[in-house]
Structure 1
Amino acid sequence: MNPSFPSCKTFIPATRIRWWSTLLVSASFAATLHGDVLDQVDPFIGTGFHGHTFPGPTTPFGMVQLSPDTRTSGWDACGGYYDDDTEIWGFSHTHLSGTGIGDYGDVLMMPFTGEVGISSGTPNKPDYQYRSPFRKEHQAASPGYYSVLLDRYQISVELSATPRAGIHRYTFPKADKAGVVIDLKHSIQNRQTLEAEIEVVNEREIRGWRHVKGWAPNRRIHFHAVFSKPFVAELYSNDALNTGVKLKGKQLKAKLKFATTDGEQVHIKVGISPVDMDGARKNLMAEIPEWDFDGVVVKAEEQWEKQLNHLQITGGTEDQRKIFYTALYHTAISPNLASDVDGRYRGMDQKIYEDPAYTNYTVFSLWDTFRAQHPLYTIIDPKQDQKWIRSLLRKYDEGGILPMWDLASNYTGCMIGYHAVSVIVDAYTKGLRDFDLDKAMEAIVFSSVYDDKKPIPYHTEDVKNDLMPKAKLYNASMGFIPADLENESVSKALEFAYNDWVIAKMAEDMGREEIAREYFERGQRYRTYFDPKTEFMRGRTKDRSWVEPFDPNNANHRKGQYVEGNAWQWTWFVPHDVPGLIQLFGGRDAFAKKLDLLFTTDSTLTGEKVSGDITGMIGQYAHGNEPSHHIAYLFNWVEQPWRTQEILHQIMTEFYLATPGGIIGNEDCGQMSAWYILSSMGIYQVAPGDTRFSIGIPLFPEARVPLQDGKAFVVKMKNGGEANPYVQRVTLNGKPLTEPFIDYTDIMSGAELVFEMGDQKTVFWKNP
């Protein structure tokens, strides 16, 4: 279980004006909505435990994420804000949502009164610098809006955002000495600034940029800020005051000073750009031309209302509705927009391109999001999913290979597999093909190839070794990946097998028969790692002997045969050939017995450094990390759907809570939330690339996805409740299902899927 924390109390400053848009839904459905959809979102969910989300305002898939920073070091600093903290360092304009590695935190601003230093400082010391304590009861957040009262200065801070710009509204007390600190040194996880520049344009404008080496090893960010009030600027390098209006260096800051009257409001508009400072100014002027904070909030809320109404639910408890819509909100934060308003963007080769007809995106957490976030968007917003695919293919053009984890136009080499392939082919198999198919075929095949000569902008040797691992070479030349030659060999091999099957699917459909034959064979190589004596997937040395000693509970972080997991969790990663995996176990009974043991065995993990990602334990199942996400659905293949239903209900009700600690592991850019969204609708795609969605158990009496041409995919639950925990019958458009699957084509045709609940454990597709 993850710890729960008290919900944040609401504090709405008197200056806040809020407008609500009209919900564009059918009258019958609108009558059942429980309040405005925006009120159902709590951005503080996930800011505790290890969720690593941030509470500040952004827009759907926006470039700007303007949010408070309360820490910069340690694993739980990845989102910049952590629920346990009681001090705010300032408000920076870029954040990652739910990642397991930290970066960004660009262009931190902090208002102040009185005498303050120019660094963030440390608590409980006389030299307090510019940070301030705050109280949770004086803080509020909703989609597109954040507010807090800074106790030290008695300054009310309000924030909002457009896709490429942020706006601050500070309400000051009377102060002869007041102002705003801008810190270009500040970053999440204390990343290295290689070079920076800051320039005072005039008494109301300031701009700058910095070049950062961090998780993204070669990242550039630019800003242009406009103040509603004249300031007197002081520029600092290495915390030393400098003269002049322009400064270059590595640790640059500015103190912009003015006096304020009681209740005076000072506004700041900030545009950012990955291209240059002029791009940041254009972004700002295009998106926030006026001094209209409330207008920016209204526009942000309108965008979120439209986004959140891609999926509508009725019924459930207040907490369940809040969890659902917050999860939907979290699925719409990344990938992030990475094109300026004039169509310019920074490519993977770090060159500047201009293409107004194209939208560039970044922050592709593909090892996570291929599993549920992308499949979700093939249903609720297929056009958006195809935009992301066009961006992935453009990155292939610019850099020479599809990314594994793209961050700010950088290859990071993070995680394993080549899951851009899964995203592309899953869309293709569903008929979503608004991209260059020949280029896609070329790109997905190259993803599987070892080529250490091609000039790919890796930036570091570590990135090269991760993005072009020798595991690809061994898999091609030896037919398997030896554990004594390659770290994490079993996990890589299993993911390669799935990715290769996906490649074969598209090749077969496109008539590339030779590729299809080769990659279907490669997709069966998972069999090499199955040990029938232990019934686990295990590592083999180059002479094909089993690695000894063997401990299925061993989960040594990023060392050994498995990635962020152990043999218990990874043995089941054969999503593309579950019948073949069942055969390896010796049939349905043996498979079902071992699968049930996964959920009932002792949860003890062993190893010198157990991976912190392994959370949300049910036996050795770990819902807090992605390799486990499909496993509960596998009981459907052995005619024990009631077991799938029991486990899914436990996960949905115990591991997702309406509290800051309410996400059981790293949110991972929408994946943890997308799992919940799909599962709460009673469906989940076990193997993207296979258009079937496996049947689970719904959480709400009704869920509705508005489709084109006035159609809707509707899921209904009848006779639900604690007394009726099992699915008795499922009908699709009035006809009983004859297998525990529904196809994507059924969903998008506007089907009605009805679950009839009861108290009996049944194989519902065999019921009379």
Structure 2
Amino acid sequence: MKQNLWVIICLAMGLLGGTGCTSSVNKTTDYAAYVNPFIGTGGHGHTHPGAMVPHGMIQPGPDTRIHGWDACSGYYYEDTKINGFAHTRLSGTGCADFGDFLLMPTVGEQHIAYVGEKEDSNHCDYASVFSHEREQAEPGYYAVFLDRYRVRAELTATERTALHRYTFPASDRSGFILDLDYAIQEQTNQQMEVEVVNETTVRAYKRNVWWAYRQDLYFYAEFSKPFSYEVSRDTVRVGTRTEPRCKLLLNFSTAEGEQVLVKAAVSSVGYEGAEKNLKAEMPAWDFEGTRQAARQKWNDILKKIDIRTTDAGQRTIFYTGLYHAHFSPNLFQDVDGRYLGMDLEVHQGDVNDPMYSIFSLWDTFRALHPLVSIIDPHQNEAYIRSLIRKGTEGGLVPKWDCVANYTGCMIGYHIASLVADAYTKGYRNFDVKEAYKACLRVAEYDTTGIAPVVPRWLYPYIMPVARYYKNEWGYVPCDKDNEAVAKALEYAYDDWCISILAEALGDTANAGKYAGFAKGYENYFDPETRFMRGKDSEGKWRVPFDPRRSTHRADDYCEGNAYQWSWFVPHDIEGLAALLGGEEAFVGKLDSLFMASSEMTGEEVSADISGLIGQYAHGNEPSHHITHMYNYVGRPWRTQELVDSVLQNLYFNAPDGLSGNEDCGQMSAWYILNSMGFYQVCPGKPVYSVGRPLFDEVTLRLAGDKTFVIRIHHNSRTNKYIKSVRLNGKPLEVPFFTHDDLVCGGTMEITMSPVPTAWGTRKRN
């Protein structure tokens, strides 16, 4: 794929400059220069190159398509036209929303015909051709030249505001189109309002329905140049329904090279909130100052991990991963502390303890939150406090919260994982008792207390069906519920997390009860096929059975098949090994996963099953712990070589550099942890499994001015096996170390080998 000039320059800077580990280097290193925001914008990564700051509430950036799976972030690298620059978007998800308040500069006649019924329905009538050669992206900044209008567009941002800069040609017909009805994918616009406050200021409101079943958003914008205007309203036929359209057409004259700036802010609370956000965060027309401030915010994040390597491509992948890992969750509170709660009412919050949204917990409990617990544990505590408040307001902690909406997306109740992992690591700056109650609530729900604004049709989706195995059958019958095996396996893990919390809090009754539920995975193990398999309400195995078969979101598994899901027992690997017949049988079965044909069967195989090594699917989250399972059965060299294979072959410094959806930072968090040389197999157990370190040296800058240094001897592309490890000068004989070992600071020295060794085969105490 083509690479833009900026990326090439950044790579050259990386080759010349490198990164260091001393404090003096850290103060001067521009880590943002190592980031390539175009990684993941191709393939099915679903990331975007827009301008934003860490966890920003606003994400101004280019929109290149409306429809289809690869429109999830609004931008797709293979596209050749830009519709304009919207202010909201998701990153790396498998579902889309947003694309709100699209702004497009124009020169000449403004074309706004509806093209939804045309073949080229991904592009608006006013879209412009562009080329990647004249496109640039870096943390906190995006720029592109719009060929149709001969306008250079530049974007930067603060937490809640966007600043646009457009360089126009000479024309007496320059202007902008502010498109209120534009939205990514098949959203339904219910309400749209626009008001011209004065000759340089506009405000707007819209309510639409899609993934978020009620999304209210307010917009406030100031222009650096006075304009004349026209409001265009009409209706269009979309399938069987009629939808309103609303666009604001702005016009003015420009001289050659004249720059017109636009300041914009959003709020989910109201017009006043959007205006306050703008006045507080964007008081001046200082584009370069805002751009540099955004870059500094990214450097403050990226400098938390310093790597030393001669491989510029791997450095770029690493820091781009760290960049993507700080997109979500997103800030969801105005500067005055007000926010929209899960009851869809406005609440007054604490400006020093803001609310967040966009919690893709099914993905991020696995690696993103464990990563944050290392490099910014107080931020992770803030996420938990936010989720607890959401549960109080809405009646239940959401599985996937999207701007104060229960989406009901995915399975499990992984708030239990976040709370248990933070608690066992000693991070407890949240109401532990309320958190524990929230975990019990989602595990044993009823419909009382759920916010009345939640549509009743959503109830089966926003809440788990744990009642099946906790009350009636003792398992989830496949003829009573969809994705029964996957749900039950995740319930068992989450219940183990609850048992850990119960024991720590002295609730012995629930500790025993949930420890029993944690063994529920045993109900799905079929000793004949040696896979986790669906069982119906009469206790009979699902027939016919094919472990390769997948029917996306409509079978006994979730975005996977029996090959992948049979390994989701992270809390009891020893128990799973026993079911399989002991360590040797376990290893044989595990080998078969990676050695099997990658062929899938079924009419609608899940597109999420990607990044295949045999039947191991790295492109989707349920597989992410599996390579480290060899460490538990005395085969650490297999973990090392498989982790190396994933790191080297499934992540690239290219637009299609991810093997699956980024999923709000999870795919990148896996890379970050594993490239440093370790991974947490079971959040809730504060233990890290040693894998294959990729870099010559890593320095983790921790809370309390502590550092943890991982130094690699004889590191090379071929030396992927570990010969020896010393932790703070003492030999480490097992392929595990604890969270305390890491956060207390120190040094781990790893010596590598070109061939497998006996290191790490010693049994754990």
Q: Report the TM-score, using the length of structure 2 for normalisation.
A: 0.95
Partner residue of 1:230?
A: 226
Structure 1 contact 471–486 (Cα < 8 Å) conserved: no
Return the alpha-carbon distance in structure 2 between the equivalents of residues 634 and 29 of structure 1: 37
Structure 1 position 130, deviation (Å): 1.2
Partner residue of 2:170?
A: 174
Q: 2:315 aligns with which of 301, 314, 321?
A: 321
**Which segments of 5 or more consecutive residues in structure 1 lack a partner in the other structure?**
14-22, 241-248
Partner residue of 2:239?
A: none
Q: After superposition, where does 1:695-706 map in structure 2 within 5 Å?
A: 695-706=690-701
- SS of the counterpart of 2:579? helix
Partner residue of 1:189?
A: 185
- SS of the counterpart of 1:524? helix
Return the alpha-carbon distance in structure 2 between the equivalents of residues 235 and 499 of structure 1: 52
> CA 1:33/1:651 → structure 2, altered by over 3 Å: closer, same or farther?
farther
Is residue 290 of structure 2 the alignment partner of residue 301 of structure 1? no
Is residue 217 of structure 2 the alignment partner of residue 217 of structure 1? no
Partner residue of 1:16?
A: none
Q: After superposition, where does 1:338-737 map in structure 2 within 5 Å?
A: 338-356=332-350, 357-457=352-452, 459-737=454-732
Letter in 2 for 1:497: A
> CA 1:349/1:134 → structure 2, altered by over 3 Å: closer, same or farther?
same
- SS of the counterpart of 1:556? coil
Return the alpha-carbon distance in structure 2 between the equivalents of residues 696 and 767 of structure 1: 15
Partner residue of 1:98?
A: 92
Structure 1 position 31, deviation (Å): 4.6
- SS of the counterpart of 1:112? strand
Is residue 264 of structure 2 the alignment partner of residue 270 of structure 1? yes
Structure 1 position 387, deviation (Å): 0.7
- SS of the counterpart of 1:238? strand
Letter in 1 for 2:582: G
- SS of the counterpart of 1:158? strand
Partner residue of 1:28?
A: 22
Q: Per-residue displacement from partner, 1:564-591 (whole Å, max 9, x unpaired)?
A: 0000000000000000000001101000
The RMSD of aligned alpha carbons is 2.1
- SS of the counterpart of 1:163? coil
Is residue 73 of structure 2 the alignment partner of residue 79 of structure 1? yes
Structure 2 contact 232–247 (Cα < 8 Å) conserved: yes
Structure 1 position 747, deviation (Å): 0.7
Q: 2:306 aligns with which of 289, 312, 322?
A: 312
Return the alpha-carbon distance in structure 2 between the equivalents of residues 49 and 406 of structure 1: 26
Is residue 205 of structure 2 the alignment partner of residue 200 of structure 1? no
Return the alpha-carbon distance in structure 2 between the equivalents of residues 671 and 46 of structure 1: 13
Structure 1 contact 411–458 (Cα < 8 Å) conserved: no
Return the alpha-carbon distance in structure 1 between the equivalents of residues 168 and 235 of structure 2: 25
Return the alpha-carbon distance in structure 1 between the equivalents of residues 124 and 30 of structure 2: 42
> CA 1:124/1:340 → structure 2, altered by over 3 Å: closer, same or farther?
closer
> CA 1:269/1:239 → structure 2, altered by over 3 Å: closer, same or farther?
farther
Structure 1 position 608, deviation (Å): 1.6
Structure 1 contact 7–658 (Cα < 8 Å) conserved: no
Q: 2:751 aligns with which of 751, 756, 761?
A: 756
Partner residue of 1:19?
A: none
> CA 1:332/1:627 → structure 2, altered by over 3 Å: closer, same or farther?
same
> CA 1:359/1:250 → structure 2, altered by over 3 Å: closer, same or farther?
farther
Return the alpha-carbon distance in structure 2 between the equivalents of residues 338 and 85 of structure 1: 31
Q: 1:140 aligns with which of 128, 136, 160?
A: 136
Return the alpha-carbon distance in structure 1 between the equivalents of residues 286 and 322 of structure 2: 28
Partner residue of 2:280?
A: 286
Return the alpha-carbon distance in structure 2 between the equivalents of residues 12 and 682 of structure 1: 28
> CA 1:287/1:461 → structure 2, altered by over 3 Å: closer, same or farther?
same
Structure 1 position 419, deviation (Å): 0.7
Letter in 2 for 1:186: Y
- SS of the counterpart of 1:675? helix
Structure 1 position 253, deviation (Å): 1.0
Return the alpha-carbon distance in structure 2 between the equivalents of residues 28 and 455 of structure 1: 52
Q: Report the TM-score, using the length of structure 1 for normalisation.
A: 0.94
Return the alpha-carbon distance in structure 2 between the equivalents of residues 466 and 502 of structure 1: 22
Partner residue of 1:38?
A: 32
Return the alpha-carbon distance in structure 1 between the equivalents of residues 27 and 247 of structure 2: 48
Q: Per-residue displacement from partner, 1:341-361 (whole Å, max 9, x unpaired)?
A: 000000000110112343010
- SS of the counterpart of 1:186? coil
Structure 1 position 473, deviation (Å): 3.8
Q: 1:67 aligns with which of 58, 61, 85?
A: 61
Structure 1 contact 691–744 (Cα < 8 Å) conserved: yes
Q: Per-residue displacement from partner, 1:482-531 (whole Å, max 9, x unpaired)?
A: 11111111000000000000000011011011110100000001011111
Q: Per-residue displacement from partner, 1:302-336 (whole Å, max 9, x unpaired)?
A: 10010111111111411100000000000000000
Return the alpha-carbon distance in structure 1 between the equivalents of residues 444 and 21 of structure 2: 54
Letter in 1 for 2:218: H
Letter in 1 for 2:306: Q
Q: 1:115 aligns with which of 106, 109, 112?
A: 109
Structure 1 contact 11–139 (Cα < 8 Å) conserved: no
The more displaced of 26-35 and 367-376 is: 26-35
Return the alpha-carbon distance in structure 1 between the equivalents of residues 170 and 157 of structure 2: 27
Return the alpha-carbon distance in structure 1 between the equivalents of residues 131 and 702 of structure 2: 43
Structure 2 contact 161–281 (Cα < 8 Å) conserved: yes
Structure 1 position 128, deviation (Å): 7.5
Is residue 721 of structure 2 the alignment partner of residue 745 of structure 1? no
Structure 1 position 638, deviation (Å): 1.2
Letter in 1 for 2:421: D
For this pair of structures, how many residues does the alignment match?
745
> CA 1:723/1:206 → structure 2, altered by over 3 Å: closer, same or farther?
closer
> CA 1:766/1:12 → structure 2, altered by over 3 Å: closer, same or farther?
closer
- SS of the counterpart of 2:487? helix
Return the alpha-carbon distance in structure 2 between the equivalents of residues 209 and 718 of structure 1: 58
- Identity fraction in percent: 47
Structure 2 contact 680–686 (Cα < 8 Å) conserved: yes
Structure 1 position 559, deviation (Å): 1.1
Structure 1 position 237, deviation (Å): 1.3
- SS of the counterpart of 1:45? coil
Partner residue of 1:20?
A: none
Partner residue of 2:12?
A: none
> CA 1:407/1:119 → structure 2, altered by over 3 Å: closer, same or farther?
farther
Structure 1 position 212, deviation (Å): 1.2
- SS of the counterpart of 1:302? helix
- SS of the counterpart of 1:698? coil
Q: 2:49 aligns with which of 37, 42, 55?
A: 55
- SS of the counterpart of 1:764? coil
Return the alpha-carbon distance in structure 1 between the equivalents of residues 259 and 640 of structure 2: 54
> CA 1:498/1:766 → structure 2, altered by over 3 Å: closer, same or farther?
closer
Structure 1 position 236, deviation (Å): 1.4
Letter in 1 for 2:231: L
